[in-house]
Chains A and B, each alone.
Chain A
Amino acid sequence: EVQLVESGGGLVQPGGSLRLSCVGSGFIFNNYWMSWVRQTPGKGLEWVANIKQDGSEIYYVDSVKGRFTISRDNGKKSLYLQMNSLRAEDTAVYYCARFDKTGDGYNGPAGRWFHPWGQGTLVTVSS
């Protein structure tokens, strides 16, 4: 069974830092792109970051660029999200997800989706 398990969430003050971890099992971790997606009651689901199998390509949503860093350790089948300079609006449940993709948009339609998802870890930024 493919499984993703996050950890590392908690309460942190504005301006503080937190590191999230995600361990994958049941699939060949280093064969897949991986992602972080967050969810808040107000903004709903928001893609945060992606990382290629070997870490050579990384992408972020604009709102976290320069503050968050996604990384992975394929030997440990682990994905990480280092979050610095945290703000109240970063408060959310953070999900780790495997990122599946097909097509490049040039030679046919591109398809991108998240599957499966971990159970999520809650990050609360508050004083």
Chain B
Amino acid sequence: DIQMTQSPSTLSASIGDRVTITCRASQSLSSWLAWYQQKPGKAPKLLIYKTTILDSGVPSRFSGSGSGTEFTLTISSLQPDDFATYYCQQSNRPYTFGQGTKLEIK
């Protein structure tokens, strides 16, 4: 199975900051990556699919990039609604997720 490792596990940042979350795969991926946002007590919500495509309604301050074993999620200017936990997910069965990155207010 492909292991997905996110870093950092916790990230403290302020409103307006630019932040980047990294997701590393245990082997090179020839497939696309997805990113999800989860708030406490809620289900995960798709943010990005096919590594770079924003789901409908997702603000343009979010962006995704990467290939091979390293992928990133970037938020260009943090807004109050962005403080949540973020997960990456790879597209080879069994579909595995990163352990999550909790984005906290500094």
Chain A residues engaging chain B, CB cutoff 8 angstroms: 44-47, 50, 59, 61-62, 95, 100, 102-103, 105, 109-120
Tell me if B43 and A111 are in contact (CB < 8 A): no
Tell me if A105 and B44 are in contact (CB < 8 A): no
Q: Which residues of B contact A119 (CB under 8 A)?
A: 42-43
Residue of B nearest to A95 (CB): B43
Q: Provide 23 A-B residue pairs closer than 8 Å at the C-beta atoms, listed in order of the A residue.
A: A44-B100, A45-B87, A46-B97, A47-B94, A102-B32, A102-B50, A109-B91, A110-B30, A110-B91, A111-B49, A111-B91, A112-B32, A112-B93, A113-B46, A114-B44, A114-B46, A115-B55, A116-B45, A116-B46, A117-B43, A117-B44, A117-B45, A119-B42
- Chain B 81-106 against A: per-residue CB contact (8 Å), 1 yes, 0 no? 00000010101111111111000000
Q: Which residues of A contact B10 (CB under 8 A)?
A: none
Bound form: Cα–Cα A100–B30 in Å: 18
In the complex with contacts A47-B95, A62-B94, A114-B89 CB distance below 8 A:
yes
Residue of B nearest to A59 (CB): B93
Tell me if A111 and B99 are in contact (CB < 8 A): no
Chain B residues touching A, majority SS = loop
Tell me if B43 and A120 are in contact (CB < 8 A): yes
Listed residue (B34, B87, B98) with the most chain A CB atoms within 10 angstroms of its CB: B34
Least CB distance from B68 to A in Å reads 12
In the complex with contacts A44-B99, A95-B43, A117-B43, A110-B89 CB distance below 8 A:
no
Q: Which residues of A contact B91 (CB under 8 A)?
A: 109-113
Bound form: Cα–Cα A59–B31 in Å: 19
Q: Which residues of B contact A115 (CB under 8 A)?
A: 46, 49, 55
In the complex with contacts A45-B97, A62-B94, A105-B31, A113-B49 CB distance below 8 A:
yes
